[in-house]
Amino acid sequence: MVLGNEMCDQTPHPSQCNTLLIQHPTQKPIGSTEEFLRVSMEGTLNGAVKAKNDTYSLGEQFDSKQLEKGAWEDCMELFDRTIHRLNQSVSCPDYVCSRSDVQAWLSTALTNLETCREGMSELGVSFDSLDGITNDVTNTLAISKKKGMEANGNGLGGELGILKVAVETPSISRRSPDAVVAQDGSGDYKTIQEAVDGAGERPRGSTRYIIHVKAGVYQEYVNVGIKSNNIMIFGDGIGKTIITGDKSKGRGFSTFKSATFVADGDGFVARDMTIRNTAGPENKQAVALRSDSDRSVYYRCSIQGYQDTLYVHSGRQFFRECNIYGTVDFICGNAAAVFQNCSILARSPPNRVNTITAQNRRNPNQTTGIVIHNSLVRAAPGAQLGGGVRTYLGRPWGSYAVTVVMGTFLGPLIEPKGWMDWGNETALTTLYYGEYGNSGPGSSTANRVNWAGFHVISDSEEARQFTIHNFIDAASWLPSTKVPFTSYL
């Protein structure tokens, strides 16, 4: 019989683990990793609720400080999201949810807490409750990975095989939309947000709710809330249906709150539209689309901005035949995101340096990363990228950043070094950057960085870890969306 406190010795934070066991006593000794994981998840959920309450009590001290108040409000929202993902992990039965579901949700919980920490630390604010619950989630994530390894073997940084086929995302049938948005009053609503609100709360597994947004320029900020699952929004095409805003860090918004369009509810699908942030390169971080939707799909969309254009914050996400425009870190975040048959278009940067990706994996047990597959990387039309402008495939926002480019055409804009550091020497050994089977004038790896974490992938088996079925568990949910995809290298 293996006791829980002995298992705690194998976690990243043993003392925090033992404290959790004391606070959450069980009726019998813990004798298996499965039981240990259950107790850890339940105790972590309780701890997250307490940490949220502790954080709420800090709010009064920020009332007269706009920036601090904004960061605190972000944290409160992020605690809610953390509790939501922990609830999913605890309450979803094994016969419904796969191991990859639980690992993805725990990865998201940790990402939410790290986003809270980052926003507060920029302002020099810290609090003990955030440290404690972060350690609890980190431990639970490690225990979950250990359980998976016992069942299915190991993979890169905890990449996941499929143990069970989870509940499918509801399919997109050929039927009339549930709601139509038209600015001229010919539809059910004049704004997109009204149509989303009209859908009401939609639980996991509910029938797809389809919203058609007719051609027009919609100057509004859209939020598909965390309780609005399985919503699809489709437009009349790129450049015809346009959603636009201009919030930015330079104008007093956090990166997290600067997005023109936010997708929180799981199973979200967007297709045939343009989403943009027009704040411009001088206003720093300015997100066009932020996605926290697990099992979300973006098909034939144009996502336009400059710095931090596309914030793939968390969850499993798939982009197909999309155009993404930007300058600095313009595909960023800590989702497990795959880009397939996309055009990634670099604009003229304000400081003469472009970084296409900034992946933010902070923990080796998270199942996150950015994969660019069978795509095209080139200069945006009209962009002036000569005269000393340097464009890199990415830089590591998190110490365990994972970014892989494979089967992709790389234009001449890509610097021979390929990748840029972020002043963190440790990250250069702990990250995983990979290139496999690319083409084009920017694809030569002869002069790439010599970091321990950079890999010129030659083994097809290693590359297959980053195909959609292995990386985002696509077999259990993507086919039902009816969006085309490539499952092989």
Enzyme catalytic residues: 308, 329
CA distance 423 to 427: 9
**What DSSP character marks residue 372?**
E
Q: DSSP E strands: which ranges in 110-206? A: 179-181
The backbone torsions φ and ψ at residue 33, rounded to the nearest 5 degrees and listed phi first, read: -65, -35
The first and second tokens of residue 236, run together, are: 């009349």
Round to the nearest angstrom and report the end-to-end CA distance of the chain: 44
SS3 for 246?
coil
CA distance 368 to 370: 7
**What DSSP character marks residue 168?**
P
Q: Are 315 and 294 in contact (CB under 8 A)?
A: yes
Place of tokens 């800090």: 58
The first and second tokens of residue 143, run together, are: 């225990």
Place of tokens 């914030």: 311
Strand partners, 241: 216
CA distance 307 to 287: 7
CA distance 46 to 281: 43
CA distance 345 to 379: 5
Cα three-residue angle 401-405-407, rounded to 5 degrees: 160
CA distance 70 to 167: 37
Q: How far does CA 281 lie from the centroid of its chain?
A: 23
CA distance 476 to 98: 9
- Secondary structure, 3-state, 307-369: CCCEEECCCEEEEECCEEEECEEEEEECCEEEEECCEEEECCCCCCEEEEEEECCCCCCCCCE
Q: Are 298 and 317 in contact (CB under 8 A)?
A: yes
**Residue 475: partners with Cβ closer than 8 Å, 6 or more residues away:** 162, 165, 469
Nearest residue to 238 (alpha-carbon basis) of 284, 265, 272: 272
